[in-house]
Amino acid sequence: MYTELNTQPSLEETALKLEMHRFAAEVLRPASLELDALPDPEQVIASGSVFWDVFRTYYRLGYHRSGLPEAVGGTPLSPLARHIIAEEMGWGAADFAVGLGVASFPYSFAAMSGRPELLKAVTEFVEDTAAANIGCWAITEPEHGSDLLMVGTPQFKEPATSGAARARRDGDGWVISGQKSAWVSNGTIATHALAFLTAAPEEGPSGGVVAFIPLTAPGVTRGKPLNKLGQRALNQGEIFFDDVHLNSDYVVVPQKAYTYALDSVLAGANAFMGATFTGLARAAFEEALEYARHRVQGGRPIANHQAIQLKLMDMFTKVECARALSRSASVYNAVTSPPSTQHSMASKVFCTQASFEVSSDALQVFGGYGLAKGMLVEKLLRDARAALIEDGTNEVLSLAAARKVIDSYATGSRQSHSQPVPAGN
């Protein structure tokens, strides 16, 4: 276990750290390695797969409730505890961390709506111990991905960049049409989707609404699970909406609140990604360190060679910096409204890049052994590579965050530049 630089964690947070680490080591990592070796993603989610054992264990332990308000049966956790959970799960298996993490997402919005029909679905989710209720976040589209996330930029109001999955008024209800792409996490196994849809295309991506959609509704179909380089225990796949009719209660975020809702979601999602891939980076560093202590070259363990020592120290520094940034962003935004989305985006970009660099260096420490299938470091490198793209590519998120950074500093910069120059200078 890593050294906890927070010197005042509560007893509950300390116990949770140990409990989540045990779950990650004993449940998540072995299952993820087993599923990674399967050639067909259909096999990953087949009946009898260890995939479902993981989901059921997670639900049975009650972790799925941690993202919900206490008023509907959710488990109250401190912001630090939430970061600890994400990091430990990322240490165990980033692919499962993402899938399990997003499973509660639609139900959190349904709970906040307070609408009786939606609250029934929330109650079923909260009481579920068999993973019979699973959520997904349906935002990415075949022709639109990171461009839909650029809140605060001119492009966010550009009609040409509006999404193709549409929600249109039909009397007192709504009709949903269009497609969400193969990158929807839990896409082919979810029972409910939180769908981000275009209602006013003339206003670009800003003209959206958010709907809670039961995926058993008439007009919903799915594609096949996506066959990917990494994160193979994360089910992803297309969802098609062919004139799906919803009553008005199922649109949980109206257009007037869409920009704020999306910005808040990005703050949470990017902070989660930062914490999760801090965990992956830590896993890669620990694998390299353990190997370097025992691998003998030149008559002594390679950990005694300065070249390896420098590499290990660089890896250690990146992990610690990733934890510091991701934890600060997570804790701050959990208690602040509106959130500082630029800090969460910085966390996602820095931590996922760090995870890729650390896992690549870890593989280098292993040498040829690191290239072998079945080696954890080989899998970690593939899993980390996917993180530079998912939940918004790092390049686009950096541009979106840059706009926020520039705007947030603008007033202060003008004030500082307008200060009179002292006489004599």
Tell me the DSSP string of 113-154: H--HHHHHHHHHHHH-SS----EEEE--BTTBSGGGG-TTSG
14 backbone dihedrals φ, ψ, rounded to 5°: -65, -45
Fold classification of 259-408 is: Butyryl-CoA Dehydrogenase, subunit A; domain 3 (1.20.140)
* Sequence spans of domains, the chain: 11-127, 135-256, 259-408
> Minimal CA–CA distance to 179: which of 221, 136, 225, 141?
141
How much of the chain is helix, strand and coil, in % rounded to 5? 60, 15, 30
Mean pLDDT score, 257-285: 97
Instruction: Give residue 96's pLDDT.
Output: 98
Mean pLDDT score, 36-42: 98
What is d(CA 293, CA 286) in angstroms, rounded to the nearest whole number?
Answer: 11
**Which band of pLDDT confidence, cut at 50, 70 and 90, is reported for residue 425?**
very low
Residue where the block lists tokens 């959520």: 135
Instruction: Give residue 45's pLDDT.
Output: 98
How many Å from the N-terminal Cα to the C-terminal Cα in the chain? 54
- Contact 276/97 with Cβ under 8 angstroms? yes
- Residues of the chain above pLDDT 90, percent: 94
- Which ranges constitute the DSSP H helices of 217-340? 258-294, 306-334
Both tokens assigned to 120: 């029934």
Mean pLDDT score, 132-147: 96
Mean pLDDT score, 402-422: 64
What is d(CA 28, CA 381) in angstroms, rounded to the nearest whole number?
Answer: 17
- Contact 175/168 with Cβ under 8 angstroms? yes
Both tokens assigned to 89: 């799960």
pTM for this entry: 0.94
Instruction: Give residue 50's pLDDT.
Output: 98
Task: Label residue 47 left, alpha or beta by phi (over 0 means left) and psi (-120 to 50 means alpha).
Answer: beta
**Which band of pLDDT confidence, cut at 50, 70 and 90, is reported for residue 416?**
very low
DSSP state of 367: G
Instruction: Give residue 226's pLDDT.
Output: 98
Instruction: Give residue 411's pLDDT.
Output: 60
What class does CATH assign to 11-127? mainly alpha
Instruction: Give residue 112's pLDDT.
Output: 95
* pLDDT over 60 at 18, yes or no: yes
H-run or E-run covering 76: none
Instruction: Give residue 417's pLDDT.
Output: 39
Mean pLDDT score, 301-312: 98
Q: Thinking of the domain 135-256, which architecture would CATH place it in?
A: Beta Barrel (2.40)
Least confident of 45-54, 146-155, 218-227, 344-353: 146-155
What is the β-pairing status of strands 192-198 and 135-138?
Answer: parallel
> Minimal CA–CA distance to 65: which of 13, 24, 100?
100
**What mean pLDDT, rounded, does the chain reach?**
95
Centre a 10 Å sphere on the Cβ of residue 425 and count the other Cβ atoms it contains: 4
**Which band of pLDDT confidence, cut at 50, 70 and 90, is reported for residue 409?**
confident
Centre a 10 Å sphere on the Cβ of residue 312 and count the other Cβ atoms it contains: 20
What is d(CA 230, CA 363) in angstroms, rounded to the nearest whole number?
Answer: 15
Mean pLDDT score, 110-116: 96
